[in-house]
Amino acid sequence: MPFRPTKKKEFMNLPSLFELESLARAAGKILHDGYEQDHDVQLKGVIDLVTEIDHKSEKFLLEAIGQRWPESHFVAEESGESGSGDLTWYIDPLDGTVNYAHGVPVFCVSIACAWDGQTRLGAVYDPMRDEMFSAERGRGAHLNARPLKVTRVAELAKSLLVTGFPYDMWTVVPNNLEYFGRFARMTQGVRRLGSAALDACYVAAGRFDGFWELSLKPWDVAAAGLIAEEAGALVTNLKGEPDYLSPPLSILAAGPLLHEKMLAVLNQA
Ligand code: IPD
Ligand code: CA
């Protein structure tokens, strides 16, 4: 038999979706245990908060992943970029920190893993509802093992949308209020949950018909963007381009028919 060099990928120590879900569940327990306790709340910006639980969850994830996959490059909300290797991990240890700090039970852990230039695995865990949203590229999206599918709503007038606002919205324009006003007058409603990862997962689950937001970071939407894509959403930036993880990061996730309508509203003069 002729000698064929083994592909590099066969040597790679790749994580499984089950392993991502286990990590998200364990970090979610940290959030759940700390919920409604007194928090040490620090300001990263005028209205951008961080608690000791964000740091605790991130420390746990970085250590657990670093031990199991030493060849890891991290892009994590609280510690920024660290490590190097074939695996890139996008980690939001607590998405929905403002809700969390106020005792509003809408928040989650978000973990995505990418290799060969593509996000491959994503897990978003809501510990208050015990809801695990997850996806593996090419294998569909699931909520606690139930397959997910976006809605087929094609008209704005029949849609329920969700969005969020950037932390610099007091001073920086565009701050999304203009888009919010447009959609509020054309749809059944626009919600603001306070967790971009859950927003996109709720589109995947058919709870919302579409989600848009500007000025996000890769850890906010790397996992949930993949979950929405795998549930049949078209996920782009606000210009309609497929790369929604490169700066300046923005996201539009909806079923293909509604996506076209939302894109037209977002880009009208
Ligand atoms: C925030 C939430 C929020 C979104 C902000 C994000 P954080 O993430 O996802 O919904 O509107 O832009 O920064 O700070 O809670 O991790
Ligand atoms: Ca966060």
Domain-wise residue ranges, the chain? 9-147, 156-266
CATH number of 156-266: 3.40.190.80
Q: Which of 110, 172, 216 to mutate to test the pocket of ligand 1 (most atoms within 8 A of CB)?
A: 216
pLDDT of residue 139: 98
Q: What is the pLDDT of residues 226-253, one digit of tens each?
A: 999 999 999 999 999 999 999 989 999 9
Q: What is the pLDDT of residues 204-226, one digit of tens each?
A: 999 999 999 999 999 999 999 99
- Min mean pLDDT across 41-50, 54-63, 133-142, 156-165 is at 41-50
pLDDT of residue 44: 82
Indicate whether 25 pLDDT > 50. Answer: yes
The pocket around ligand 1, CB under 6 angstroms, is made up of: 77, 92, 95-98, 164-166, 194-196, 213, 216, 220
pLDDT of residue 167: 74
pLDDT of residue 175: 82
For residue 45, report the distance from its CA to the centre of ligand 1, in Å: 13
Q: Which atom of ligand 1 lies nearest, measured to the CA of 194?
A: 10
213: which strand partners? 251
Closest ligand to C-alpha of residue 220 is 1
3-state secondary structure of 126: strand
Q: What is the pLDDT of residues 161-180, one digit of tens each?
A: 999 998 777 777 778 999 99
Rounded-to-integer distance, Cα 118 and Cα 80, Å: 20
What amino acid is encoded at 88 in this protein? T
Q: Which atom of ligand 1 lies nearest, measured to the CA of 50?
A: 14
CATH number of 9-147: 3.30.540.10
Residue minimizing CA distance to atom 14 of ligand 1: 97
Averaged pLDDT for residues 49-59:
94
What amino acid is encoded at 253 in this protein? A
* pLDDT confidence band for 10 (50 / 70 / 90): low
Averaged pLDDT for residues 57-85:
97
pLDDT of residue 8: 61
Q: Name the more confident of 259 and 173.
A: 259
Q: Which of 195, 208, 238 to mutate to test the pocket of ligand 1 (most atoms within 8 A of CB)?
A: 195
pLDDT of residue 2: 47
CB atoms within 10 A of CB 92: 34
| Residue closest to 203 by CA, chosen among 268, 260, 261, 258 | 258
Q: What is the mean pLDDT of the chain?
A: 94
pLDDT of residue 1: 43
137: which strand partners? none
What tokens were used for 12? 């790679």
Residue 213 vs residues 39, 120, 178: alpha-carbon distances, Å: 28, 22, 12
Rounded-to-integer distance, Cα 196 and Cα 223, Å: 11
pLDDT of residue 68: 97
Indicate whether 5 pLDDT > 50. Answer: no
What amino acid is encoded at 109 in this protein? V
Q: Which atom of ligand 1 lies nearest, measured to the CA of 54?
A: 16
3-state secondary structure of 82: strand
Residue minimizing CA distance to atom 8 of ligand 1: 95
256-266 and 177-184 helices cross at what angle (nearest 10)? 120
Indicate whether 3 pLDDT > 60. Answer: no
| Residue closest to 27 by CA, chosen among 100, 88, 116 | 100
